Structure 1
Amino acid sequence: MKTLKVLAVLLSYPDINVYKNIDELAEALKQESLLSKKTLKELLSFIEDYKNKDFLELQERFVSTFDRSRAHCLNLFEHIHGESRDRGPAMVDLAQMYARKNLFVGKKELPDYLPVFLEYLSLCDDKEAIESLGDTIDIIALIGGQLKKNESPYHVIFSALEALSNAKVNKFKVAEAIQNSPKEPETLEELDELWQEQEAFGGESSECGTCETSATLTH
């Protein structure tokens, strides 16, 4: 599924080769035609804005959006396990699952990093990809909701992922998590304190059949 691969690239730290060839991503979305006209239009606008921004500005926007805010963190298990010991075994399970598709995570990345997870799904058949994406839908909706609340243009990517999954979001749980989330840190000290807080969907541990992890990604 090329669309998932494109969304993975758009959610990754800006790369100069991607920046120079960004129109190819737009073309891939149009050719596969999996998204509604409204969602496609939003993504194409995001890509156009991406293309017209200064490259260093894009990198700084990515860092300020995803690296300085726990609410926007792209590591899926961060929103479930936080820093608990359950996270390690879940990471191992994910890495093994990726390896079966010959996808190997680099030393600088964690298996639960959303762009990596989306790249894995792009290697699966469509049915499996959509079902596995649905397993993460509440976390995706949570991150997307936080991004929209903070007026980040990246929220349109999460809206596209929700649409692709065909899964029903637990809107009450997501809205509650967004409402109870702490304010964004303004200093490095506040950021350190925020990362010590409890995970958004804490205290929920069960089996996830599709992702073969020690905790479900959504329920």
Structure 2
Amino acid sequence: MQSLLLAYPDERFHAELPLVRRAAAAFPDPVGAPLLRFADHAEQAPRTVLAADYVATFDHRKRCCLFLTYYAHGDTRKRGVALLRLKQAYARAGWRLGDDELSDHLAVVLEFAAAADDAHILVEHRAGLELLRIALRDSGSPWADVLASVSATLPALSGDERTAVARLAAQGPPEEQVGLAPYIPTAAPAAVSRPPGTPGGSR
């Protein structure tokens, strides 16, 4: 469900809000309540305003980037390797990404985690997730509730993860740019193609 709420708020997004409400009501309160708050906001806000807010938040603020490997690697060579590893992990599970989709977009990772019942990619990128959650919270973004719901499904932060979050908050991601094309597109990806019979989940 969280992945649906991180998509660009187009007609499909608004059509799926009732489904999100029904599913969120069945989740434990730390997971479901933030999703219901966001759904309230999304239904009440003018659609053009919500869409403009989405673009201003996720396309124009580096600390609110939805591409998880950016937090650890920035636009460096290591990020290309990390993207490839994620794509290979999806392929092993029978998933196929479109040519215009990046494997580290949070909505894609959430779809995979829910369908495969495997949150290891989210856990591996926990520092970046927490930095995104904090940035959204501090900016007063309604999408902070969606990230709060995601965090509530994951194990508590360990000492090393807290250190990593603090480092990212203070320094930001690496900035090596040599020989690289930008990795951050302005458009959110479409949903991942799932293998037949794959169930959905809370993410």
Question: What are the residue-to-residue correspondences of 1:34-49 with 2, within 5 Å?
Answer: 35=28, 37-49=29-41
Shift of 1:179: 4.4
RCO higher in structure (CA 8 A, sep ≥6): 2
CA contact (8 A) 1:101 1:123 kept: no
Cα drift, residue 68 of structure 1: 0.2
Task: Report the count of equivalent residues.
Answer: 175
Determine what percentage of the aligned residue pairs are the same residue.
Answer: 27
Once the two structures are superposed, residues 101-126 of structure 1 have per-residue CA deviations (whole angstroms, 9 ceiling, x without a partner) of 3322222221111110111111113x
Q: Paired residue for 2:21?
A: 26
Deviations 1:185-214 (A, max 9, x none): xxxxxxxxxx99469xxxxxxxxxxxxxxx
State the TM-score, normalized to the length of structure 2.
Answer: 0.77
Of 68, 72, 78, the residue aligned with 2:70 is 78
- Equivalent residue for 1:171? 162
Distance 1:134 1:154, change over 3 A: same
Query: How do 1:23-172 residues align onto structure 2 when only pairs under 5 Å count?
Result: 23-31=18-26, 33=27, 35=28, 37-125=29-117, 129-169=118-158, 170-172=161-163
**Of the candidates 5, 9, 14, which is equivalent to residue 4 of structure 2?**
9
Other-structure match for 2:188: none
TM-score, length of structure 1 as denominator length? 0.71
Deviation track 1:144-201 (CA, whole Å, cap 9, x = no partner) reads 11111111111111111111011425334424433455xxxxxxxxxxxxx99469xx
CA distance in 2, matches of 1:107, 1:38: 35
d(CA) in 2 for partners of 1:148, 1:198: 28
Q: What's the secondary structure of 1:86's corresponding residue? A: helix
**1:30 shift after superposition:** 2.0
**Structure 1 residues 38 and 94: CA distance shift in structure 2, 3 A:** closer
Quick one: distance in 1 between partners of 2:81 and 2:12?
A: 35
Report the Cα offset of residue 81 of structure 1. Answer: 1.2
Query: How far apart in 1 are the matches of 2:64 and 2:25?
Result: 28
Distance 1:176 1:97, change over 3 A: closer
What is the RMSD of the two structures over their aligned residues, measured on CA atoms?
2.3
Displacement, 1:38?
4.6
